[in-house]
Copies of this chain bind each other. A is one copy, B any other.
Amino acid sequence: MIALDHLRHVDATPARLARESYRAGEIAPTSGVAPGFTQANMIVLPRDWAFDFLLYAQRNPKACPVLDVSDPGSHATHLAPGADLRRDLPLYRIWRDGKLAEETPDATKAWAEHPDLVSFLIGCSFTFETPMLDAGIEIRHITDKSNVPMYLTNRPCRPAGRLHGNMVVSMRPIPASRVADAATISGRFPAVHGAPVHVGAPEEIGIHDLGKPEFGDPVRIEPGEIPVFWACGVTPQAAVMASGVPFAITHAPGHMFITDIPDTAYHA
């Protein structure tokens, strides 16, 4: 990975314009927006929970690769100077006592409830979809213009303090002849989930019906295609639910934070 300070000269206008449109009120999924700029999952927690979460992420790096952590009380990030994490995502989820309480395009009001919130930005597998497409590997949910399917597995993450929960995975159907290529290409991007965690045999990880993802949309699986599973940045939301976290703000699935950082920066 390239040190971020070396990337200050990159023209990030497309990323900035996208954030400005969300700040102005536009609500839309971010897949395909500002191509080439890294998108991130977000979870925001009170300072009292921040060590537990950072440790949870350290112990579960495939699911929770941390790209940046804000200072307590700040809504700024190193990954996009000038951005406001309270308003620059298209859609937020507010969680109370482990339950989804609200979806909102502006988290400013909820953010004001706690003076010491810490924001975690977590790598997103959208980052390696572009090089997979460049290698001639079809990404079905892009072809079909749907959200990627995501499943809650039976695989527990390593707990940390008060946090526990199972891993969430995203799934892409890949032709059997290209599975190795998909693993190799995504494996070059460890900061955005890296190589698959599971290939085929969905029942082994507790997925009994690929047509019913817990998050996102189901996708077509053609004959000769294998379901390939990557660790997913919605895993923190599963931990919020399983652990009954008193208060959290997250992105809404598919509605990511768009950073100023080129995807290539996360090439290992």
A62-89: contact bitstring with B at CB < 8 Å (1 yes, 0 no)? 1000100101000000100000000000
Q: Is A147's CB within 8 Å of the partner chain B? A: no
Complex contact B268–A190 (CB within 8 A): yes
Complex contact A3–B62 (CB within 8 A): yes
Q: Is A205's CB within 8 Å of the partner chain B? A: no
Complex contact B62–A58 (CB within 8 A): no
Stretch in contact with the other chain, from A7-15, A48-56, A95-103 = A48-56
Residue of A55, A61, A194, A197 with highest tally of chain B CB at under 10 A: A55
A127-144: contact bitstring with B at CB < 8 Å (1 yes, 0 no)? 000000000000000000
Nearest to A190 among chain B residues (CB) is B268
Q: Quickly give the copy total for this chain.
A: 2
Q: Is A59's CB within 8 Å of the partner chain B? A: yes
Q: Is A1's CB within 8 Å of the partner chain B? A: yes
Which among B58, B59, B62, B69 is the interface contact of A59 at CB below 8 angstroms? B69
A15 to B3, CA, bound (A): 34
Task: With both chains docked as a complex, state the minimum distance between the C-beta of A223 and any C-beta of chain B, in angstroms.
Answer: 31
A20-33: contact bitstring with B at CB < 8 Å (1 yes, 0 no)? 00000000000000
Complex contact A58–B51 (CB within 8 A): no
A50 to B47, CA, bound (A): 12
Contacts of A58 in B (CB 8 A): 54, 66, 69
Task: With both chains docked as a complex, state the minimum distance between the C-beta of A31 and any C-beta of chain B, in angstroms.
Answer: 27
Nearest to A197 among chain B residues (CB) is B3
Contacts of A158 in B (CB 8 A): 78
Task: With both chains docked as a complex, state the minimum distance between the C-beta of A78 and any C-beta of chain B, in angstroms.
Answer: 8
Task: With both chains docked as a complex, state the minimum distance between the C-beta of A129 and any C-beta of chain B, in angstroms.
Answer: 20
Contacts of A47 in B (CB 8 A): 51
A158-169: contact bitstring with B at CB < 8 Å (1 yes, 0 no)? 100100000000
Nearest to A158 among chain B residues (CB) is B78
A78 to B187, CA, bound (A): 24
Task: With both chains docked as a complex, state the minimum distance between the C-beta of A221 and any C-beta of chain B, in angstroms.
Answer: 26
Task: With both chains docked as a complex, state the minimum distance between the C-beta of A247 and any C-beta of chain B, in angstroms.
Answer: 18
9 residue pairs A–B, Cβ–Cβ below 8 Å? A3-B62, A3-B197, A47-B51, A51-B54, A58-B66, A58-B69, A59-B78, A187-B268, A190-B190
The residues of A with any CB-CB pair to B shorter than 8 Å are 1, 3, 47, 50-51, 54-55, 58-59, 61-62, 66, 69, 71, 78, 158, 161, 187, 190, 194, 197, 268
6 nearest interchain CB pairs? A51-B51, A268-B268, A54-B54, A58-B66, A55-B69, A50-B51
